[in-house]
Amino acid sequence: TKLFRSYTKKIMVIDDLANRQHDCDVLLDQNYYLDMESRYVDLVPKNSKQLLGPQYALLRPEFYAARENLKKRDGIVKRIFIFFGGSDLTNETLKTLKAIKLLNRPEIAVDIVVGIANQNKEQVKEFCKNVPNVYFHCQVDNMAELMTNADLAIGAGGTATWERCFLGLPALVIIVADNQIKVTEAVDEVGAIRNLGMSVNVGIQDLAMALTNVLNNTRFLLTMTNRAMWLMGKKDNNSHVRELF
């Protein structure tokens, strides 16, 4: 970044690895870690402004609009939202669908979202036809709306964590990549999600049991909602960044 010093007044860096030095005026890391205040101490200049944590999460405008009209959650699950990223290489979506079918709760609506890059999307689509009240969506542009309408989410760690938390959506989270471990464990520690662990260790029966437990625990779901909203902080998150420039 030193090469750009002669071309600009201020330099901002977006990072989430904390494993290299930066010559910057502002550093943004939107992820939550139990030790996040110390991660960049020796990696940025002493006078660099550090924006750390999900209160600075970079979210699309649709999420801000959705939060303005967010319904008050009551902890009763009438609709479930399932999304494991654009590709879902380990096919967690189908695993979750099979767990949903085991529950035999046709009164609960389920929205399944997959990306166009999901190689199992046709298999998932066909399976959806065999489960009552399940709706298949591919490559949608209304994620915030689907999350807002849901009472519980099932998905992976990563960026979707902050989208769900921003809308106060309780979530059962399955870790599908090593770089999701620390963040998912930290968010679970503050009670904003329920971490089910690594995908290889979560079977269909495990997921069905976890679902059964939360569906019967209104207080637990409401606590997740409150902790998630607290974790995300102010509504206009990006105003913090704009003020620096």
Give the mean pLDDT of 120-129. 96
Look up residue 240 and give its two tokens. 């913090």
pTM of the model: 0.92
pLDDT at 239 over 60: no
pLDDT at 113 over 60: yes
Three-state DSSP string of the chain: CHHHCCCCCCCEEECCCCCCCCCCCEEEECCCCCCHHHCCCCCCCCCCEEEECHHHCCCCHHHHHHHHCCCCCCCCCCEEEEECCCCCCCCHHHHHHHHHHHHCCCCCEEEEEECCCCCCHHHHHHHHCCCCCEEEEECCCCHHHHHHHCCEEEEECCCHHHHHHHCCCCEEEEECCHHHHHHHHHHHHCCCCEEEEEHHHCCHHHHHHHHHHHHCCHHHHHHHHHHHHHHHCCCCCCHHHHHCC
pLDDT at 134 over 70: yes
Give the mean pLDDT of 81-106. 96
Q: Report residue 5's pLDDT band, with 50, 70 and 90 as the boundaries.
A: confident
Q: Report residue 32's pLDDT band, with 50, 70 and 90 as the boundaries.
A: very high
Please count the other Cβ atoms lying within 10 Å of the Cβ belonging to residue 123. Answer: 14
Q: Report residue 237's pLDDT band, with 50, 70 and 90 as the boundaries.
A: very low
Give residue for tokens 């009551």: 74
Q: What is the pLDDT of residue 7?
A: 87
